[in-house]
Structure 1
């Protein structure tokens, strides 16, 4: 009997201890949580924008948008890669960890991909949860080579008249001689917006069929105000009797930012336009001795000189000698 009483007393003590513990520990007697649905992660959208453009590379910021619902999604990782659309090769790949996603709603993450500034790319994104792929999306971008490098960005450009109503480069004849012609050239330069900027305009006269440079001049423009157009002018001294392309080149801090071309017809027997097929003509290279070479301008507000070479008088003398010899042979 004593043993039974002892066992009952011990059982009562255990029950009392359990009751005390239940009230002493918060949540010990709380009802069980209802079952939560499993987590899901869906891929909704991708946006792409260039953040940095260098001479041979471009950095694309790829923002991925995810939608999460249900229970917590643990160890979520996003990987985006750029695949060359021409070769199919993976150009580069980046990865970001989002940790644990909880609560219903949208989440986003941005990855920066540095790619070659050429062609197009297929941007592919995969979403992983605990190492397993749960969602994916893609987008294709083209014309990456057309992105303007940061160092060449400028609101100053040669003015583009709608419908070719006027030429961007104006060419006129200032003075003519037996073997030389002086051209007046000017280009319309417009600052479409932004801050005022100093620029340099280089004019190059090249013979139409041979591309030989006959003369060049450079003009510094100290300031092109926002929304304004200026027409820096110069003179070019070229051999007479030939047709020329007059190239206008716009420079900013030693960087070429724009070009345009006009035609100058000095040969009365034929004329040229900016876009036409070349044809062979008689050319005396001596007429172009002393012309400037290519490359960016190294001086400002200067014009290179040219020597006439043999020129028209020498050609007439040669024709006279041929006629005299022909008369002697016929006699």
Structure 2
């Protein structure tokens, strides 16, 4: 075989090998930048969700989530965002929703607005997760609280001049050992609209035992924007004791705000609203309603000085004195 024929045969073999490689692996001779051209772009959470309250009713609240999703690079398909609401105290999943996005293009951020509905109570942790082709590419957590107050801007008045609760004596029945207290709850509307359907519940608890001595509820009339109004209740309790006065305002059955004051009916003992309870003797019969209540008997008050203690009488005290004297004589002789 001549030299020229050997060169032609070698060139033909190289060509055949190249053609075979193209047939077996079409990407062997492809442009190395082709993957870069077809690779999806970057996706992330550009802005955490801003949460706005929407429609509310007695049981649920609607939250609108305003999020911005960032994108950069090549066009990106199959992007979705999942929102989950977890109870802030228990950590239990309350609700979730997923939004599919259209193809993202360019270097920019796009707005994403959606709504979720949660029970109108407590607080929640809102988790935002971004998926691309089913894979998590970014996540974020935002917390929201105070949902029980949505729908009304009425609160107990708190100022140096006007207390939230004003307690006064309305009447005294010395024969029955009963005192009627008048409790005026001051409410202020800090919103821009008038409010109605407000209920104020007042509970009186005997300070030392925490027994509920009386409770009642009343409705508050319409309160205009920026206005303050009183909701007054009267409650009758046994005389001679001190009481914590707890009040709560509800709207559509949802707790909106609470306040506490005191009623000092015991002239020898006084309490404050934030004071720790002390052990003081009291008659349970004073707090039992109806004609079958046991007859009230006098008992020593905790503030009176007494030389006796439960379980110790004068005989025990005399024995203790004799024992001390014998011990002193023994030590002197030794």
Common topology (TM > 0.5): yes
Aligned to 1:140: 141
Aligned to 1:167: 163
1:63 paired to 2:67: yes
CA distance in 1, matches of 2:184, 2:148: 27
Q: CA deviation at 1:220?
A: 2.8
Aligned to 1:194: 192
User: Measured at CA, do residues 113 and 196 of structure 1 come closer, stay the same or move farther in structure 2, by a change above 3 Å?
Assistant: closer
Retained in 2: the 8 A contact 1:180–1:308? no
Alignment match of 1:184 (pick from 175, 178, 182): 182
User: Measured at CA, do residues 266 and 193 of structure 1 come closer, stay the same or move farther in structure 2, by a change above 3 Å?
Assistant: same
SS in 2 for 1:106: strand
The CA deviation string for residues 128-176 of structure 1, in whole angstroms up to 9 with x for no partner, is 1xx375x83332223x4x33247x6311111122xx6653111122333
Q: CA deviation at 1:186?
A: 0.9
Q: CA deviation at 1:87?
A: 9.1
Aligned to 2:48: 46
User: Measured at CA, do residues 241 and 120 of structure 1 come closer, stay the same or move farther in structure 2, by a change above 3 Å?
Assistant: same
Q: CA deviation at 1:181?
A: 1.8
Aligned to 2:298: 315
Length-normalised TM-score, structure 1:
0.62
Alignment match of 2:82 (pick from 57, 77, 80): 80
User: Measured at CA, do residues 64 and 272 of structure 1 come closer, stay the same or move farther in structure 2, by a change above 3 Å?
Assistant: same
How many residues matched?
Answer: 257
* Alignment gaps of 5+ in structure 2: 1-33, 300-312, 314-334
Length-normalised TM-score, structure 2:
0.62
Q: CA deviation at 1:229?
A: 0.6
User: Measured at CA, do residues 93 and 235 of structure 1 come closer, stay the same or move farther in structure 2, by a change above 3 Å?
Assistant: closer
CA distance in 1, matches of 2:285, 2:110: 72
Aligned to 2:101: 98
* Alignment gaps of 5+ in structure 1: 1-34, 292-305, 317-325, 327-331
SS in 1 for 2:226: coil
1:107 paired to 2:90: no
> Where does 1:1-331 land on structure 2 (aligned, <5 Å)?
40-43=41-44, 44-49=46-51, 51=53, 61=65, 63-69=67-73, 71-73=74-76, 75-80=77-82, 82=84, 94-110=97-113, 112=115, 121=125, 123-128=127-132, 131=133, 133=135, 136-142=137-143, 144=144, 146-149=145-148, 153-161=151-159, 166-178=162-174, 179-198=177-196, 199-290=198-289, 310-311=295-296, 314-315=297-298
User: Measured at CA, do residues 82 and 235 of structure 1 come closer, stay the same or move farther in structure 2, by a change above 3 Å?
Assistant: closer
Retained in 1: the 8 A contact 2:244–2:273? yes
Q: CA deviation at 1:243?
A: 0.3
Retained in 2: the 8 A contact 1:239–1:308? no
What is the aligned-residue RMSD (CA, Å)? Answer: 3.9
The CA deviation string for residues 249-303 of structure 1, in whole angstroms up to 9 with x for no partner, is 2233344322211111111221111122222211211112228xxxxxxxxxxxx
The CA deviation string for residues 227-264 of structure 1, in whole angstroms up to 9 with x for no partner, is 11112223222111100111222233344322211111
Retained in 1: the 8 A contact 2:123–2:146? no
Retained in 2: the 8 A contact 1:120–1:140? no
User: Measured at CA, do residues 206 and 102 of structure 1 come closer, stay the same or move farther in structure 2, by a change above 3 Å?
Assistant: closer
Moved more, 86-95 or 218-227: 86-95
CA distance in 1, matches of 2:244, 2:237: 11
User: Measured at CA, do residues 200 and 82 of structure 1 come closer, stay the same or move farther in structure 2, by a change above 3 Å?
Assistant: closer
The CA deviation string for residues 21-78 of structure 1, in whole angstroms up to 9 with x for no partner, is xxxxxxxxxxxxxx99666234233324155678588757362412244x433x3312
CA distance in 2, matches of 1:243, 1:41: 67
Q: CA deviation at 1:202?
A: 2.7
SS in 1 for 2:191: coil
SS in 1 for 2:167: strand
